[in-house]
Amino acid sequence: KIVRIAAEKITDETLMQLEENIKLMEITGRDISYYVDKDTEFHDMILKSTESLVFEIMLSSVNELLRESRKATLRGGGIERACKAHLEIFNALKAHDPDLSEKQMQQHLKNAEEDLKASGNSI
């Protein structure tokens, strides 16, 4: 739902910031915390573009859990996979296509779930 609303409301400025975020996340050889921060920023920008305080409040309660989950999925080799998914989500958002944005986000979340299970983490 969040990404569908974002697809309709996202601004050119936020799209530029998302594109920059993806480029920064593609830089190799950084500490895992760097990638977790970039991943978090990517999703936060999408969330904020909905202009929905309700969504922000709702997700703020699970921020720390999401951060630990991201760390586990990215540590297990998921950085390249996340970058590819972020680019696909970005392209759908840039096209202002709610259906494609939702499809790409669902695939990204499915990949993250698979990576989390593969990491052996029980978050």
Q: Please give the C-alpha separations between residue 38 and each of 9, 54, 55, 86, 99, in angstroms, as whole numbers.
A: 22, 23, 20, 11, 25
pTM assigned to the model: 0.88
Asked if 96 contacts 7 with a C-beta cutoff of 8 angstroms, the reply is: yes
Question: What digits encode the pLDDT tens for the residues 80-94?
Answer: 999 999 999 999 999
Question: What does the pLDDT look like over 40-67, one tens digit per residue?
Answer: 999 999 999 999 888 877 777 677 777 7
